[in-house]
Structure formats: C-alpha cells, structure tokens
Amino acid sequence: MKVLVIGKGGREHALVWKLAQSPRAEKIYCAPGNAGTAEDGVNVPIDPLEFDRLVSFVRKEKIDLAVVGPEEPLARGIVDHFQKAGLRIFGPTREASRLESSKVFAKELMRHADVPTSEFRIFDHPEFARRYIETRDYPLVVKADGLASGKGVMVCSTNEEALAAIERIMVREEFGRAAGRHVVVEKRLEGEELSILALVSGRTIVPLQPTQDHKAAFDNDQGPNTGGMGAYCPAPLGTPELLDTIDREVLVPTVHAMKRRRQPFRGVLYAGIMATNQGPRVLEFNCRFGDPEIQPLLLRLRTDLLDLIEAVVDERLDAFEGKLDWDPRPAVCVVMASGGYPGKYDKGFPIQGLAEAAKLRDVKVFHAGTRRDGDRVQTDGGRVLGVTALGDTLADAKRLAYEAVACIRFRDAFYRRDIADKALPSLAAPAPSAAAEPPQGL
C-alpha cells in the first residue's frame, strides 16, 4: 500500500515512522513533512490546507490511504473533501471534528450526554464574561471557543488573571476573531491530568494505553500552556478501575451522543481527563492523535499501525478489541523547544548531535519543527524535537531520554527536566543539563 500522512510535526513523524514498519507499506509520503519524515518517508511540498492539490497528488500517485495528523485540516473538512472525491482517509468529518474545534459544542454535548466535566458558562460578549468572573470566589479556567494550537486555554489562579484572559481572547483577539467570538469560563478542577486516546469506528471503541502530557512550558508546571512539552506511557495514574470508569462514563456516551446527532465519529477520540477526588472529569476533547503523547505510544505499540488505521476506515475495528500488542516497557518523550516558545521564537539554527543521539539503544528522536538545508538540519518551529526512549522501568526510560537530549544542541534550546516525575516521586530532582535552563527573558 501507498500511504499519505498529512502534516509536518512530531506527531506526523511518529506516524510516518510507524507506518513504514508495516510489511504492507510500499511507500509512505508526508505532506509537507519535516527533516525527520524525509528520512523515514518521502516529503511532498503541499500544505495540509490545499485540499484540491492533495486530492490530485493522491490520484496521480495512486495512494491507497490518507492519514490526517493535525486538527486544522480536520476542522476545515478535509475528510469530507476526500470522501466526496471517493478517496479513503482516516479522521473524523468536519461536523464530528467540532468536538475539538469548538469548546462550546463539546461542553454542550457533554452536558446533554451526562459526561462528567467541570461546571461552566458560555459567553459571547466580554462584558458579560467579566461580570460573571467578578462574582466567582474560586479559581477559573478561560477557554477560547475555537482552535488556538493548544494555547487558547488559560488556567487562572485569581479573578484578575481570568479578566486578563478575557481581554486577550475576546478583546485583543490574540487567537483570531473566530476563535475568540465565544469563551467558556469554567471552575478550575484540582487533580492530576491523564490523556486517554481511543480509536473509534462505528460502535467500536478501542482505547490505547494511558499517557500523561506536560502542558506548561517549565518545570513544576510553571509558565504558559504549550502544545505539550513531554509525555510518558503508560501513566500509572490510569489504573484499570479508572480506565473502566472513563470508558463507561466518557467514551461510550460521547460516541453514542455523536451517533444520535447523525454525526458519527470515526478516527481518534482523545479525552483530556482530570482525575479528581470526585472521579474523572473531562477537560477537553481532541479529534486526532496527541502530540507528544503519540511518540511514546507508538514506540510501545507492536500491533501493525497500518492494519489498525485501515480497520477504522473500513469499520472493521471490532477485530482488534482486546487484541492490541504492547511492548511492556514504559516510554518517555522529552520535547526540545526553541527559546521564546510558546511566544515568539527564531528559526534556522543548525541542530547538532542528532547522529550521536540516534546511536543510543531504544531511543528515537522524532522531528517536529525541523527542516533540511543541504546536509544540515535546522530548527523550523517552536517545538523542535521529541526525544523518546524505552526503558525497563519508567526511571530507566527517563534517564535514557535525557541522556539522548544531552547529545543534542541548538541555539536557545530549552526543555523541561521533570518529565515523568509525577509517576516517580523519588526522582523529583531535575535531570542535570545546562541547556535545560529557559532562555533569559522568558
């Protein structure tokens, strides 16, 4: 089979790398890809939002299956576009993708389907939002309704911070006019976060192993929210009892609610969960593989990913219920980012030490914001690399991941030093590295 992966981040490199391992994979293309996807597949210089060009390329190259990585093409209807052209594609339709592309839609669906989430209010005018915030005596979270690359959620400790979030989202429109037209203001939940990703097709739901992401830019969950600074899998927080509850109270009612709306979900349903004293609560839904969660997940997955994805597209996923094969060893992914991220950052700096890191056993360096310039690899994004390692224990996986990180150098690189420490209370001391210090001015 020939497969086209659409996107250019760390998630897409992980998909290309894993799909290429299938004995049925003849050629894996990536549009537009990065320096890493060019090594494990073939890059195609087409933007993910150029739907007609992508369709033409798929027809010309006789590609059998397209796999969508990022959220924006899904939200804009790439799956509908391909299906209308009679082409096979993995991912939810535009309407089903509203679970991610509209926080308002997701919250209202959860309310109607009795899915446990935080109490919330929706506002379409900043003045009404301000008045509501001023009457609250507990911490709040303010969310832009539309897509904002993982940065439109502001976790606030004070009413002043919540009011500033309304200013940023609705008045200054920092995430765009459409994204900030509505906001969700909700009570801040206390607990520990868990990422639950499940493959969904028809009536079948196949959960993947529980992972934990690290959203904040700096150690100890300090600094602004990002697209994700690292992840580990499996997360011990995801006990069998908790996972059963999430399956029963979150995944099943959500999938059924979408079906009742005649917007059946097919693809990856990703529930961001807060494990609270009152039980699991949904923070948000995503409609695609998480980045960086997919990196440690795919490093551990032994089942043929091409078989799995095809089963979702063809509604044969029930054949895989309870039959996924996983490497028993845990995996840890550490994201190396550009100085300034998630704000402004510079690009074009050479990356050294990639070959050295690649020599380490059980390590895979996934490229995210990179590009090739001749024989050199340069930085080309905020999150640059996802350095991922397997270990006999979680502590071993963490040690090996940071050993690989220490091999790699680029100007103004920074990364968190505490990835997986929530599951390793005895290892709360940060991994030693001068490069781990955030650049001055952040």
CA dist 276 and 228 (Å) reads 21
CA dist 51 and 77 (Å) reads 9
Cβ(141)–Cβ(155) below 8 Å: yes
Residue 202: predicted pLDDT: 86
Residue 149: predicted pLDDT: 73
Helix axis angle for 305-313 and 10-19, nearest 10°, is: 100
CA dist 385 and 438 (Å) reads 16
Each residue of 50-109: pLDDT tens digit?
Answer: 999 999 999 999 999 999 999 999 999 999 999 999 999 999 999 999 999 999 999 999
Residue 442: predicted pLDDT: 31
Q: Check if CATH label 3.40.50.720 holds for domain 192-320.
A: no
Each residue of 349-373: pLDDT tens digit?
Answer: 999 999 999 999 999 999 999 999 9
Q: Check if CATH label 3.40.50.720 holds for domain 2-93.
A: no
By residue count, the chain amounts to: 442
Q: Which CATH architecture has domain 331-436?
A: Alpha-Beta Complex (3.90)
Domain limits of the chain? 2-93, 119-187, 192-320, 331-436
Q: If DSSP codes are grouped into helix, strand and coil, which group holds residue 274?
A: strand
CATH superfamily, domain at 119-187: ATP-grasp fold, A domain (3.30.1490.20)
Angle at CA 87, nearest 5°, toward 25 and 299? 35
CA dist 398 and 407 (Å) reads 15
Say which amino acid occupies 133: I
Residues facing residue 389 across a β-bridge = 332, 363
Q: Which residues of the chain register pLDDT less than 70?
A: 425-442
- In this prediction the pTM is 0.93
Residue 244: predicted pLDDT: 97
Q: If DSSP codes are grouped into helix, strand and coil, which group holds residue 402?
A: helix
